[in-house]
Structure 1
Amino acid sequence: MEESNYIKIYTGNFIVTQLMVDKLEAVGITAIIKDESESGRLGGFGTFNQGTQELYVNKDELGTALPIVESVTAEMQE
């Protein structure tokens, strides 16, 4: 199995994920969003976890990305 240079840093709803992506892009980090429910819908299949997305960043950018994710997560809990 091929090892990826990307690591998952968040799983949650698409609104919070988009907020994180915007903040990451503001500091020059290009994140990858994985949305299995959307992929399944496009392929003609149903899914039980609609609206849940996974956010990945390059391992080299993890140190910069994690504080941003933690900050957004804390904001959402207030």
Structure 2
Amino acid sequence: MKEHIKIYTGTSIMVNRLSFLLNEMNIPSIIKDYKESGRLAGFGVIEGSTELFISDDNRKKANEVIKNFEKEI
């Protein structure tokens, strides 16, 4: 099983943008949206609680995408 690492935490809009950029470079990602999960379960979670994960194997490949994304924001 592959090890996944968290690379970004923020709003769902920002996480989805970074996920899109990674996908363009053929780097799969996993989004964990705790705010949406909390809403569905009936309790609240603070804003900015969406996390983005990639497999540890793709860390080096993703570094450039992440750096460019941080410049963009």
Q: When the two structures are superposed, what TM-score results if normalisation uses the length of structure 1?
A: 0.82
Cα distance in 1 between the residues matched to 2:25 and 2:59: 12
2:20 is the alignment partner of 1:22: yes
Q: Residue 33 of structure 1 contacts residue 53 of structure 1 at CA under 8 Å; is this kept in 2?
A: yes
Tell which structure's C-alpha radius of gyration is larger. 1
Q: Residue 12 of structure 1 contacts residue 54 of structure 1 at CA under 8 Å; is this kept in 2?
A: yes
Cα distance in 1 between the residues matched to 2:44 and 2:17: 26
Cα RMSD for the two superposed structures = 1.6
**1:28/1:4 CA distance change after superposition, 3 Å:** closer
Q: Residue 9 of structure 2 contacts residue 48 of structure 2 at CA under 8 Å; is this kept in 1?
A: no
**1:41/1:8 CA distance change after superposition, 3 Å:** same
Residue 66 (structure 1) shift: 2.0
Which residue in the other structure is 2:57 paired with?
60
Cα distance in 2 between the residues matched to 1:4 and 1:34: 17
Q: Which moved more, 1:54-63 or 1:66-75?
A: 66-75
Residue 36 (structure 1) shift: 0.9
Q: When the two structures are superposed, what TM-score results if normalisation uses the length of structure 2?
A: 0.87
Identity over aligned residues, as a percent? 37
Where in structure 2 are there 5+ consecutive unaligned residues?
none
Where in structure 1 are there 5+ consecutive unaligned residues?
none
**1:27/1:4 CA distance change after superposition, 3 Å:** closer
Cα distance in 2 between the residues matched to 1:66 and 1:55: 14
Residue 35 (structure 1) shift: 1.1
